[in-house]
Amino acid sequence: MVRAVTSIAAGFATLAAIATLVAAPPASAALYKWVDANGRVVYSDQPPMGNVKSEVVGGASAPANPDAVKEMAGKEAEFKKRQLDRVDDAKKAEKGRLEAQRLAAFCQQARAQVAGLGRVDMVMFRVNEKGERVAMDEAARRTEGERLEQMMRERKCP
């Protein structure tokens, strides 16, 4: 008998919960405003009873955007593309900076060699095919200096 009462009570509780859900107003219901008989302003989601003048304060919410998922996916794709573009730009900038450093080092070294080739008080050597050091004469110095200057022009040394 106790068990039957318990199951009946559980049945009523379930039925009451379902009735509450069915009777609950939708979340997008309008909000009404009116002045009651005592002069107080009343707000409610239900229109006033009787012949009371009321106004709708909050209308139903706008319908959901049917393309919201597509738009969000598009925005996310654009964001990822911008991130990848930034990474690519950073890599290009780093590559350009390293290339500028290499060029500056080459130009500095070439200028120092040309200056050394122009000094007559120094003996300059070059290594021949056999790996032997051979002193450079005036013609060899001039040829080497011209070769270095041509390389600097080709690489547009500042």
Helix, strand, coil shares of the chain, percent, nearest 5, are 55, 15, 30
* Residue boundaries of the structural domains of the chain: 2-58, 68-154
Q: What was the pLDDT predicted at 103?
A: 94
For residue 113, give the nearest of 139, 144, 154, 155 by alpha carbon: 144
The CA-atom distances, in angstroms, between 137 and each of 28, 123, 132 are: 97, 9, 16
Give the C-alpha separation, 135 to 119, whole Å.
14
As averages over each run of 10 residues, the pLDDT of the chain (158 residues) reads: 51 54 53 86 84 76 78 93 96 95 94 87 87 90 92 91
